């Protein structure tokens, strides 16, 4: 396939997802498995593209990486998903009811406006949460495992300490009144952008796409192994527009990703990472005693 066509794959995927939800009949939208099936199909599609249009040979998927990635995808779709609903979204929906918070004007907007309003609102929260994670050590300890990945692949956006995964689920979108189709479209579009932004796919989307949405080029720079300081840019998980607005946007790309000595962490190490300072202190104390 010609490179110019490969570059159109991310926007074409977004267009397909938007069209699917724009025209999906209500009975489809109400099927409980529809959202995970569309989400996982998109993920599998982009993972497949890595095999056809590789960006960096050093990021090539292997069994160990794929097994870890799939573990986190399963975790996110089950435990993290349920926990986020029970701890964040359900209480917000109750609050919305109790306080009579309503945005009926939003539900009257065109489908695309609703979907983008939800995406940009959710991503504004994500932006500040992610930026805080790079600015405050206790939060960084939960986010660092995501930066310790030593290669980028379609499902790497799911990889991280479970506390971080829950923290980045925080959002106020449960307070908004929107059409269910538009809500699902915003989830799926945000997910697809973040998937491409982590994928080892040689697609560099058109300028307009990269103006609003995060690309692998700019997100790989956020994962750079050159120094911790160099990671403090391009925080937008799928909406890079917020970085442009708040002055943290940086153009560039990094093929070498990871943190510190670029040692790959096991799942156990990823889960214990926030306790590291305490564990090291204890170990040092034991050594001295
Ligand atoms: Zn980060
Ligand atoms: Zn990332």
- Phi then psi dihedrals of residue 98, to 5 deg: -65, -45
pLDDT of residue 131 exceeding 60, the answer is yes
Burial 129-142 (b: 16+ CB within 10 A, else e): bbbebbeeeebbbb
Q: What is the 3-state secondary structure (H, E, C) of 193-218?
A: HHHHHHCCECCCCCHHHHHHECCHHH
Tell me, what DSSP letter sits at residue 239?
B
pLDDT of residue 19 exceeding 90, the answer is yes
Q: Give the pLDDT mean for 99-114.
A: 91
Give CA separation, 224 vs 35, 81, 87, 128, 218, in Å.
Answer: 32, 29, 33, 20, 10
Q: What is the pLDDT of residues 226-261, one digit of tens each?
A: 999 999 999 999 999 999 999 999 999 999 999 999
| The pLDDT value given to residue 104 | 85
Q: What is the pLDDT of residues 201-216, one digit of tens each?
A: 999 999 999 999 999 9
What is the C-alpha separation between 100 and 241, in angstroms, rounded?
31
Closest by alpha carbon to 195, among 216, 164, 167, 172?
A: 216
| The pLDDT value given to residue 283 | 86
Closest by alpha carbon to 123, among 221, 245, 252?
A: 245
Conformational region of residue 33, where left means phi above 0, alpha means psi within -120 to 50, and beta covers everything else? alpha
Q: Write out the two tokens for 268.
A: 């156990």
The answer to whether residues 200 and 59 touch, using CB atoms and an 8 Å cutoff, is yes
| The pLDDT value given to residue 12 | 98
Return the ligand number nearest the Cα of 139: 1
* CA within 13 Å, CB half, 16: 13
Q: Give the pLDDT mean for 121-126.
A: 95
In the reported structure, the alpha carbon of residue 259 is separated from the centroid of ligand 1 by a whole-number distance in angstroms of: 11
In the reported structure, the alpha carbon of residue 224 is separated from the centroid of ligand 2 by a whole-number distance in angstroms of: 10
Listed range (61-75, 93-107, 180-194) with the worst mean pLDDT: 93-107
| The pLDDT value given to residue 289 | 54
In the reported structure, the alpha carbon of residue 258 is separated from the centroid of ligand 2 by a whole-number distance in angstroms of: 10
Name the average pLDDT for the chain.
94
Q: What is the pLDDT of residues 21-57, one digit of tens each?
A: 999 998 999 998 999 999 999 999 999 999 999 999 9
Closest by alpha carbon to 215, among 183, 246, 231, 192?
A: 192
In the reported structure, the alpha carbon of residue 26 is separated from the centroid of ligand 1 by a whole-number distance in angstroms of: 37
What is the C-alpha separation between 151 and 229, in angstroms, rounded?
19
In the reported structure, the alpha carbon of residue 100 is separated from the centroid of ligand 1 by a whole-number distance in angstroms of: 36
| The pLDDT value given to residue 288 | 63
pLDDT band at 102 (very low <50, low <70, confident <90, very high): confident
Give CA separation, 280 vs 65, 271, 285, 286, in Å.
Answer: 27, 15, 8, 10
In the reported structure, the alpha carbon of residue 134 is separated from the centroid of ligand 1 by a whole-number distance in angstroms of: 6
In the reported structure, the alpha carbon of residue 219 is separated from the centroid of ligand 1 by a whole-number distance in angstroms of: 9
In the reported structure, the alpha carbon of residue 219 is separated from the centroid of ligand 2 by a whole-number distance in angstroms of: 6
In the reported structure, the alpha carbon of residue 147 is separated from the centroid of ligand 2 by a whole-number distance in angstroms of: 7
Q: Give the pLDDT mean for 162-172.
A: 91
């Amino acid at each position: 396939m010609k490179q110019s066509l490969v570059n159109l794959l991310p926007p074409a995927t977004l267009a397909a997802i938007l069209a699917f939800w724009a025209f999906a009949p209500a009975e489809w939208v109400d099927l409980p498995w529809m959202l995970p099936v569309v989400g996982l199909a998109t993920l599998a599609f982009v993972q497949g593209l890595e095999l056809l249009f590789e960006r960096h040979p050093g990021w090539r998927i292997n069994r160990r990486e794929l097994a870890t990635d799939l573990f986190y995808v399963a975790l996110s779709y089950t435990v993290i998903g349920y926990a986020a609903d029970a701890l964040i979204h359900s209480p917000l929906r109750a609050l919305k009811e109790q306080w009579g918070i309503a945005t009926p004007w939003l539900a009257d907007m065109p489908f695309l406006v609703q979907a983008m309003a939800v995406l940009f609102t959710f991503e504004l929260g994500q932006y500040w949460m992610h930026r805080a994670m790079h600015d405050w050590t206790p939060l960084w300890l939960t986010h660092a495992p995501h930066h310790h990945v030593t290669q980028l692949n379609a499902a790497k956006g799911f990889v991280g300490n479970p506390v971080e995964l829950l923290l980045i689920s925080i959002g106020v979108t449960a307070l908004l009144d929107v059409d269910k189709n538009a809500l699902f479209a915003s989830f799926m579009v945000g997910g697809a952008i973040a998937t491409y932004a982590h994928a080892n796919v040689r697609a560099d989307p058109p300028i307009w796409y990269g103006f609003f949405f995060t690309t692998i080029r700019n997100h790989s720079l956020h994962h750079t192994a050159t120094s911790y300081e160099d990671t403090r840019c391009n925080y937008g998980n799928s909406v890079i527009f917020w970085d442009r607005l708040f002055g943290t946007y940086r153009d560039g790309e990094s093929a070498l990703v990871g943190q510190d000595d670029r040692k790959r962490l096991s799942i156990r190490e990823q889960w214990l990472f926030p306790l590291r300072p305490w564990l090291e202190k204890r170990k040092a104390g034991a050594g001295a005693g």
